[in-house]
Structure 1
Amino acid sequence: MRLLPEPSAQSLRLIFLLIFVMGVAPSPALTAGCPDRCVCDDQLVVQCAGQQLTDFPADLPLATRQLIISNNRIGELPALQLNYLSDLVYLDCSNNSLTEISESTFGNLRKLAYLDLSFNTLAQIDDRTFGPLASLVMLRMTDNPGLSEIHPDAFSENIALQVLDVSRNNLTTLNISTLIALPALRSLGLSGNPWRCDCDTEDLCLWVQIEGFKFQG
């Protein structure tokens, strides 16, 4: 399965501009405190990367716009804590020990534009997992070696999604209805999966060939 081209530099700049202009004014709520082993700044960024955390950071400032918890050993994203961050637009959870996510995990993150779940231990993506993320533009979900199933309706409500990368997982098939539901899609990563040779995969290959022009430039 070939990897469709990455978005152009101009497209990426536009995506990240969208992410960062969704409100960056300092807020008194951010100065209320900062989790242990994290760094918080006046641009509403909370940086907790590489701190050997095993739990999701507690007492996050409610005004947080960007949360970076990559390169830790966090095993769960607690919905109750995460969904207090209703202004969050950027969430990097890559390289952790996440085993499960669900619709409730992201239930109140309607401004989230960037989500990275790469290098975790996810096994499946259920119906409407990303449904609440109405503003999601970029989703990276690569290098989850046990990820073998993505429900056909996992992205059915993510009409703003432009970049989707599910490379290097354990996917053997992907229902094309998962992709047809994404009218804004511009970049799709599929490489490095053990695709099964059957009718479903044949349909996916045909869809990629027919629709591939949309992903150019």
Structure 2
Amino acid sequence: MVVADLKSIADCMIGSGYGKESVRIYDLIRKSIIDESLYNLGVEKLTASQVQKMEWDVLEAKIRSWLHAVKIAVKNLFYGERVLCDSVFSSSAKIAKSCFVEISRDAAITLFGFPENFAKSKKILSPEKMFRALDLYEAISDLWPEIEMIFSYDSLSAVKSQAVASVVKLGESTGSVQPDSSKTPSTGGVHPLTRYVIWICSMKFCWILFLLGKNTNLYKIK
């Protein structure tokens, strides 16, 4: 009912020649809600330098918080916001698109920028901390179908680029770290070294596929 009311008001304002005013008000309010929601989930804008200066206990807590937040942000917050924009401004796909872009872009870039900043810091250069990088990598990889769908507009390519940059940087930063094979999981499950090897293989596999996509001569029918 609330969405229907918003749509009726938006349609009325747009039809009366006050489309810009309705969009400006909508963007301002919804953007503040998205920003506040991410803040409440523990997401904040941090530079690589700030991450580097953090004590490991503090940083690890932020990583755990981010891992929890990113699922909610992608599956609920950003997805819900796109659905809301499409519903309220269903009479104009152009307006719906511009609203979602304005509301979500900066917040999403901040969200997906954290793993890259962690990877840029020297905190990652130890086996026990490397596995936190793997957790970050897996989180983005698992959510990639939703990320690609929600941020499908060309004007949101920066969001997807940031997510990809984080994955790539995590891979680059951990490639030379040698995990301690003597450590075994205290509660059973997959050995950390096994996860690491699978991850490295996956990264190489993705890179080969990328090169294959760039070089069409590799798979031309002769």
TM-score, normalized by length of structure 1?
Answer: 0.31
Higher strand share: 1
Which one has a bigger Cα radius of gyration?
A: 2
TM-score, normalized by length of structure 2?
Answer: 0.30
Higher helix share: 2
